Structure 1
Amino acid sequence: MTLVKSSSGIRGTLGGKVGYGFSPIDIIQFLAGYVSCMKRKYKNKKKFFFILGRDGRVSSLLFQQFLIITFQSLGVDVINIGLSTTPTVGIAVMNEKADGGVMLTASHNPKNWNGLKMFNSYGEFLSEEDFKKLYYIAEKKYFNFSSYKKLGNLFYKENYIQKHIEKILSLPIIEKNIIQRAKLKIVVDGINSTGGIAVPILLKYLGVHVIKMYCDPHGDFVHNPEPIEKNLKKICKKVPEIKADLGISVDPDVDRVVFICENGDFFGEEYTLVSIADYILENKLGPVVSTLSSSHALKDLSVKKGVPYYSTPVGEIHVIKKMKEVHAVVGGEGNGGIIYPNLRYGRDALIGIALFLTQIAKLDNIPLSKLKKRYSNYFMTKKKIRFSSHERIKMLLTIIRKKYKGNKMDFSDGIKIYFKYNEWIHIRKSNTENIIRIHTESTSRKRADFLSKKIIYEIKKL
């Protein structure tokens, strides 16, 4: 059993002992800690209310009831927006001027997982400082439940995904009419979660002929829900089979998006951010931000455009913090997460899709296989190794650091080792699982594979 506390909230596998999995007791305890933390943060308020959304997982419908009861028992009102996306909850917090919000989701993790993503009153993930306070309050149980006279109220608001989409389409940078004239034919893999609702609605507004795959939000994921190439073989086959212009796949809470080329090739989750940043920089020059684990193709693009590039530790809150600091025009992560601050400071697959389709429509329906050739051609490997002991991970990183001390290194998030010819290895502990992640990149597929195998061999020898 697993329970992971990260910069976006908590997530874990279902079942097992309290504190070792995602159980009803853990849900109540951490939600109570969150509400108490927000009450202390905004202590001058007399009445509080929060937004609640959920993804399509089977367990999300069940656990939603625990959350509602806990909110009300803590004396705060809750607006339940039902089936939603993580960015939609952020939009709802902003629109309703709520004190915060909770999305019931385990993001890209398999269906035996679930979790809570938590927002502040700006519709953004909590700061690291707020999370430390939240976890402390939850673990020490420094919270109080309300008397029957002060129980919170429950309200329902429907169609928030629709409101989210309308907000996206109102942005001047999204050229709806140009996309409509392109008459695109697109295959959508909604992983049987809320992407199966949200993405087709957005595409229909944009005049797209939509072919759905796994778009019923019943939560029975038919493949591993992380939107990476090895999990998307069926949509990669479907796109050229029916002569579609492209394919779109999202994760279960719709904050990551990847694209499939017209010939069935994977456009690459790393190139989602690169291509969208290219379009945004055509409209407005300014700094761009991504993470240490993201492809250097974005850095190359920034050099070409003459704008500053910044990298951060992995995690949405780190990217957003740097974006605010440098007034970035776009940012995100190489996993397909796009942050466009003119909409909201948070990853959002739907704004990513709208920006991307505007770009290709304005380029006269350029085939995605051709679009990708506009950018630096890198090859990346992404591996992971499970470790049961945090001490072992710390020891491993110390030994690797000594072994490669002659190389340029970055220690802001694990260890990133730089080599000649734009090659690098990044080794870090995952924010969301008890594993270490190992990313390598090179201009040669053979070299990227070699670096990956070499470092994994060295790690396993330790």
Structure 2
Amino acid sequence: MTDPRLMISVSGIRGRVGHGLTPEVVARYAAAFGAWAVARAKDRGSRTAIVLGRDSRVTGPLFHSVTRAALESVGADVIDIGLTTTPTLQLAVEHHHAAGGLGITASHNPIEWNALKFIGPDGLFLSAAQGAEMRALVDAGVPYAEWDALGEVYFDGDAVARHLDAVLALPFIDVDGIRSRNFRVAYDACRGAGGAVIPKLLELLGCEVHAIELEADGRFPRPPEPVAENLVALQTLVQKTGAQIGFATDPDVDRLALVDDTGRAIGEDYTLALATRVVLRHRKGAVVTNLSTSRIVDDMAAEHGVSVVRAPVGEVNVALKMRAVNAVIGGEGNGGVILPELHLGRDAPLGVALLLQMMHEDAEPLSRTVERFPRYTIIKDKLDRPAKPLDAVYAALRDAFADAEADTQDGLRLGWSDRWVHIRPSGTEPIVRVIAEGPDERAARGLVEKGRELLAKLA
């Protein structure tokens, strides 16, 4: 029986440590994933190794040991890459032709959370169907290996270097050109895994680096989600050092947020939008993003006569849609950039390189680039999840806004030419997200308040 305190979604399993997420739970799910991945690998006649890595969270070393033992116990060899980023882990799965990957990270969640992220042999997070198939072993019973068939452990200390080399080898990243600009860059690692990765990348790109909170001990000095309201220290650092751009990452370094040269946090939606702008100069094709991403991405795509395709929230959903439509770039408005030429996963180091490439090509301050495009107000609200189904809220919203275009791929998104509202249950927290965007705060706030009003009736 699944503990209701666990959050189970396409993002894996998450919980508060000691309250739903315990070493016993971690061992059970890790063993189930290992047995599932090994069985599928044997059917394909391919390697039965699992790549294992973690972010910097305080509980990471404990769960790392538990997970490694659980994988060995089902006969999986373990390729341990230690403290790392989620995109590095995904690339390592592909590099080793592994049966899968397992990341110990709760991404942007607060310090008391941790999680397991399950990655398939293609380097993508498990689909909903794959996840259900794997989790069935938790209830049915995990087939453990006998004493002479246990897995072995191998260590790979080169995964981060390979990741950065792959980013710098992208054909439209002009490494020499970026180096010639000697950009002054500020960076806030929030004591996540990025402290051991992003400064190295910036140095390889010839930047003068001013960084804070590089200690990868997981003792976050602020809420770890890199949204604008959490980036006060980075904004101050940009102003103090005269940096031309400021970067912030979440603990597992798949999300990237920006502060412009004036010291203003411009919002994480701009990361994908600006990355899209530079990629479309070199590659023409579709752009994919999720239903909760700002229209600024549409504006950047329209500049190049390209369409934007929407997918349900969740990295794997966007990645699968990108594969289906042969997109040249995609991602999510939370600061996640996905480039198929690198891999089908959100990648903050990639985002850093693309933003510096754009600044090199444009030869103008980031603040001026942002000013060239319409400004929208996006409001991201969240409420406790009601006990009753959300269908009644969806129906009432559609009745109230009959002129809107409705998308029901993931909750309900109602869209107009200059605004939209999206209501959906979160896959990572026990909440309902209400996100709206409009040409000004009044328009966006009105849509959010309507959603709150309808949700209150279900409480």
TM range (shorter): over 0.9
- 1:452 and 2:436 are equivalent in the alignment: no
- Decide whether the 8 Å contact of 1:387 with 1:393 is kept in 2: no
Question: Which range moves more in the overlay, 236-245 or 378-387?
Answer: 236-245
- 1:224 and 2:233 are equivalent in the alignment: no
Task: Find the counterpart in structure 1 of residue 306 from structure 2.
Answer: 307
Q: CA deviation at 1:401?
A: 3.7
Q: CA deviation at 1:392?
A: 4.2
Task: Please report the TM-score for the alignment, with normalisation by the length of structure 2.
Answer: 0.95
- The answer for unaligned runs of 5 or more in structure 1 is none
**Residue 381 (structure 1) aligned to one of 375, 379, 382:** 379
Tell me the SS of whatever aligns to 1:342.
Answer: coil
Task: Find the counterpart in structure 2 of residue 56 from structure 1.
Answer: 56
**Residue 415 (structure 1) aligned to one of 408, 412, 417:** 412
Task: Find the counterpart in structure 1 of residue 353 from structure 2.
Answer: 354
CA shift digits 1:216-252 (9 cap, x unpaired): 0001000000010111111112211221111100000
**Residue 420 (structure 2) aligned to one of 419, 424, 431:** 424
**Residue 440 (structure 1) aligned to one of 436, 442, 458:** 436
- The answer for unaligned runs of 5 or more in structure 2 is none
Q: CA deviation at 1:47?
A: 5.7
User: What is the 5 A alignment of 1:120-269?
Assistant: 120-141=120-141, 143-269=142-268
Q: CA deviation at 1:330?
A: 0.2
Tell me the SS of whatever aligns to 2:52.
Answer: strand
Change (3 A) 1:109 1:438: same
Task: Find the counterpart in structure 2 of residue 10 from structure 1.
Answer: 13
Tell me the amino acid that sits aligned with residue 254 of structure 1: V
Distance 1:301 1:361 in 2: 18
CA shift digits 1:347-390 (9 cap, x unpaired): 100111111101101212x211111123332111000001252x
Question: Which range moves more in the overlay, 371-380 or 194-203?
Answer: 371-380
Distance 1:344 1:374 in 2: 30
Say what the alpha-carbon RMSD is for the aligned residues. 1.6
Task: Find the counterpart in structure 1 of residue 368 from structure 2.
Answer: 370
- Decide whether the 8 Å contact of 1:388 with 1:434 is kept in 2: no
Question: Which range moves more in the overlay, 100-109 or 128-137?
Answer: 128-137
Q: CA deviation at 1:461?
A: 4.2
Distance 1:75 1:253 in 2: 28
Task: Find the counterpart in structure 2 of residue 337 from structure 1.
Answer: 336
Tell me the amino acid that sits aligned with residue 401 of structure 2: Y
Distance 2:419 2:165 in 1: 42
Question: How many residue pairs are counted as aligned between the two chains?
Answer: 454
Tell me the amino acid that sits aligned with residue 423 of structure 1: R
Q: CA deviation at 1:415?
A: 1.0
Q: CA deviation at 1:12?
A: 0.9
Q: CA deviation at 1:14?
A: 0.6
Q: CA deviation at 1:398?
A: 3.8
- Decide whether the 8 Å contact of 2:418 with 2:439 is kept in 1: yes
Q: CA deviation at 1:5?
A: 0.7
Tell me the SS of whatever aligns to 1:305.
Answer: coil
Q: CA deviation at 1:308?
A: 2.4
Tell me the amino acid that sits aligned with residue 238 of structure 2: V
Tell me the amino acid that sits aligned with residue 13 of structure 1: R
Tell me the SS of whatever aligns to 1:431.
Answer: coil
Task: Find the counterpart in structure 2 of residue 31 from structure 1.
Answer: 30
Distance 2:278 2:372 in 1: 12
- Decide whether the 8 Å contact of 2:41 with 2:47 is kept in 1: no
Distance 1:324 1:247 in 2: 31
Task: Please report the TM-score for the alignment, with normalisation by the length of structure 1.
Answer: 0.95
Task: Find the counterpart in structure 1 of residue 117 from structure 2.
Answer: 117
- Decide whether the 8 Å contact of 2:234 with 2:246 is kept in 1: yes
Tell me the SS of whatever aligns to 1:42.
Answer: helix
Q: CA deviation at 1:302?
A: 2.3
- Decide whether the 8 Å contact of 1:99 with 1:120 is kept in 2: yes
Distance 1:47 1:357 in 2: 38
Tell me the SS of whatever aligns to 2:59.
Answer: helix
- Decide whether the 8 Å contact of 1:4 with 1:433 is kept in 2: yes
Tell me the amino acid that sits aligned with residue 97 of structure 1: H
- 1:89 and 2:89 are equivalent in the alignment: yes
Tell me the SS of whatever aligns to 1:149.
Answer: helix
Distance 1:227 1:450 in 2: 25
CA shift digits 1:177-232 (9 cap, x unpaired): 11111111111110101111111010010111111111100010000000101111
- Decide whether the 8 Å contact of 1:37 with 1:130 is kept in 2: no
- Decide whether the 8 Å contact of 2:47 with 2:98 is kept in 1: no
Distance 1:229 1:422 in 2: 23
Task: Find the counterpart in structure 2 of residue 275 from structure 1.
Answer: 274
Distance 1:284 1:33 in 2: 41
- Decide whether the 8 Å contact of 1:272 with 1:336 is kept in 2: yes
Change (3 A) 1:41 1:401: farther
Q: CA deviation at 1:460?
A: 2.1
% identity of equivalent residues: 34
Distance 1:253 1:377 in 2: 29
Distance 1:263 1:393 in 2: 42
Q: CA deviation at 1:452?
A: 2.0
Distance 1:404 1:348 in 2: 37
Distance 1:125 1:429 in 2: 20
Distance 1:29 1:247 in 2: 41
Tell me the amino acid that sits aligned with residue 263 of structure 1: T
Distance 1:405 1:140 in 2: 46
